[in-house]
Amino acid sequence: MANVDISTNEPAYAYKYNGKLVFPTGKFTTTLSSAGLRYAIKNGHLVRINSYAVYERSIIFKDYVNYWHNLKTRYSDAGNVVMKEISKNFLNYLYGKFAQQKDIVEMSEDITY
Protein backbone atom coordinates (compact mmCIF):
# COMPACT_ATOMS: atom_id res chain seq x y z
CA MET A 1 0.00 0.00 0.00
CA ALA A 2 1.29 3.43 -0.88
CA ASN A 3 0.03 6.99 -0.65
CA VAL A 4 1.12 8.53 -3.96
CA ASP A 5 0.87 11.59 -6.17
CA ILE A 6 -0.46 10.68 -9.61
CA SER A 7 -0.52 12.56 -12.91
CA THR A 8 -2.66 10.75 -15.48
CA ASN A 9 -4.84 11.33 -18.51
CA GLU A 10 -6.75 8.09 -18.01
CA PRO A 11 -9.34 7.37 -15.27
CA ALA A 12 -7.47 4.36 -13.85
CA TYR A 13 -7.12 5.21 -10.14
CA ALA A 14 -9.73 5.41 -7.41
CA TYR A 15 -10.01 8.64 -5.42
CA LYS A 16 -12.45 9.60 -2.66
CA TYR A 17 -14.07 12.99 -3.38
CA ASN A 18 -16.86 14.42 -1.20
CA GLY A 19 -17.51 10.95 0.21
CA LYS A 20 -17.84 9.35 -3.24
CA LEU A 21 -15.47 7.08 -5.13
CA VAL A 22 -14.39 8.68 -8.42
CA PHE A 23 -11.76 7.91 -11.06
CA PRO A 24 -10.30 11.31 -11.99
CA THR A 25 -7.72 12.40 -14.52
CA GLY A 26 -5.06 15.03 -13.90
CA LYS A 27 -2.92 15.44 -10.79
CA PHE A 28 -4.10 14.10 -7.41
CA THR A 29 -3.03 12.12 -4.35
CA THR A 30 -4.46 8.66 -3.69
CA THR A 31 -3.66 5.33 -2.04
CA LEU A 32 -2.76 2.38 -4.26
CA SER A 33 -2.29 -1.32 -3.64
CA SER A 34 0.60 -3.25 -5.19
CA ALA A 35 -1.23 -3.83 -8.49
CA GLY A 36 -2.22 -0.17 -8.85
CA LEU A 37 1.29 0.94 -7.97
CA ARG A 38 2.80 -1.38 -10.60
CA TYR A 39 0.36 0.00 -13.19
CA ALA A 40 1.21 3.61 -12.29
CA ILE A 41 4.94 2.95 -12.58
CA LYS A 42 4.57 1.01 -15.85
CA ASN A 43 2.52 3.79 -17.45
CA GLY A 44 4.56 6.73 -16.17
CA HIS A 45 1.74 8.12 -13.99
CA LEU A 46 3.60 8.00 -10.67
CA VAL A 47 4.93 11.41 -9.63
CA ARG A 48 5.87 10.73 -6.00
CA ILE A 49 5.52 8.12 -3.25
CA ASN A 50 4.52 10.02 -0.11
CA SER A 51 4.48 7.00 2.19
CA TYR A 52 4.17 3.25 1.94
CA ALA A 53 3.70 0.13 4.03
CA VAL A 54 4.95 -3.36 3.22
CA TYR A 55 3.03 -6.32 4.62
CA GLU A 56 4.27 -9.86 5.04
CA ARG A 57 1.92 -12.27 3.28
CA SER A 58 0.73 -15.52 4.79
CA ILE A 59 -2.20 -17.88 4.61
CA ILE A 60 -3.50 -17.09 8.06
CA PHE A 61 -6.60 -19.31 8.21
CA LYS A 62 -5.53 -22.41 6.25
CA ASP A 63 -5.90 -24.91 9.13
CA TYR A 64 -9.12 -23.27 10.34
CA VAL A 65 -10.69 -23.36 6.87
CA ASN A 66 -9.63 -26.96 6.23
CA TYR A 67 -11.11 -28.06 9.57
CA TRP A 68 -14.51 -26.40 9.05
CA HIS A 69 -14.69 -27.28 5.35
CA ASN A 70 -14.12 -30.97 6.13
CA LEU A 71 -16.83 -30.85 8.81
CA LYS A 72 -19.24 -29.09 6.45
CA THR A 73 -18.63 -31.72 3.76
CA ARG A 74 -19.13 -34.57 6.25
CA TYR A 75 -22.38 -33.08 7.59
CA SER A 76 -23.61 -32.37 4.08
CA ASP A 77 -22.92 -35.96 2.97
CA ALA A 78 -24.70 -37.25 6.11
CA GLY A 79 -27.74 -35.05 5.44
CA ASN A 80 -27.32 -33.11 8.70
CA VAL A 81 -28.57 -29.72 7.47
CA VAL A 82 -28.28 -27.92 10.82
CA MET A 83 -24.64 -28.85 11.45
CA LYS A 84 -23.79 -28.19 7.81
CA GLU A 85 -25.14 -24.63 8.18
CA ILE A 86 -23.27 -24.11 11.45
CA SER A 87 -20.03 -25.29 9.79
CA LYS A 88 -20.72 -22.99 6.85
CA ASN A 89 -21.24 -20.06 9.21
CA PHE A 90 -17.92 -20.74 10.95
CA LEU A 91 -16.26 -20.67 7.53
CA ASN A 92 -17.86 -17.33 6.65
CA TYR A 93 -17.72 -15.35 9.89
CA LEU A 94 -14.14 -15.37 11.15
CA TYR A 95 -12.12 -14.36 8.13
CA GLY A 96 -14.06 -11.14 7.61
CA LYS A 97 -13.31 -10.00 11.13
CA PHE A 98 -9.58 -10.73 11.16
CA ALA A 99 -8.27 -11.07 7.59
CA GLN A 100 -7.13 -7.47 7.29
CA GLN A 101 -5.09 -7.39 10.50
CA LYS A 102 -1.52 -8.04 9.36
CA ASP A 103 1.80 -6.96 10.81
CA ILE A 104 3.51 -4.03 9.11
CA VAL A 105 7.01 -5.10 8.16
CA GLU A 106 8.39 -1.77 6.92
CA MET A 107 7.18 1.82 6.65
CA SER A 108 8.75 4.80 4.97
CA GLU A 109 7.80 8.38 4.16
CA ASP A 110 8.64 11.03 1.59
CA ILE A 111 10.22 9.11 -1.28
CA THR A 112 10.45 10.79 -4.68
CA TYR A 113 10.24 8.39 -7.60
Structural domain boundaries of the chain? 2-55, 62-98
Share of the chain above pLDDT 70, in %: 83
What pLDDT, on a 0 to 100 scale, did the predictor assign at position 96?
Answer: 66
Among 53, 63, 11, 9, smallest CA distance to 31 is for 53
pLDDT of 107 higher than 80: no
Residue 26 φ/ψ region, left for φ over 0, alpha for ψ in the -120 to 50 degree band, beta for the rest: left
d(CA 113, CA 108): 13
* 53 vs 19, higher pLDDT: 53
d(CA 89, CA 69): 10
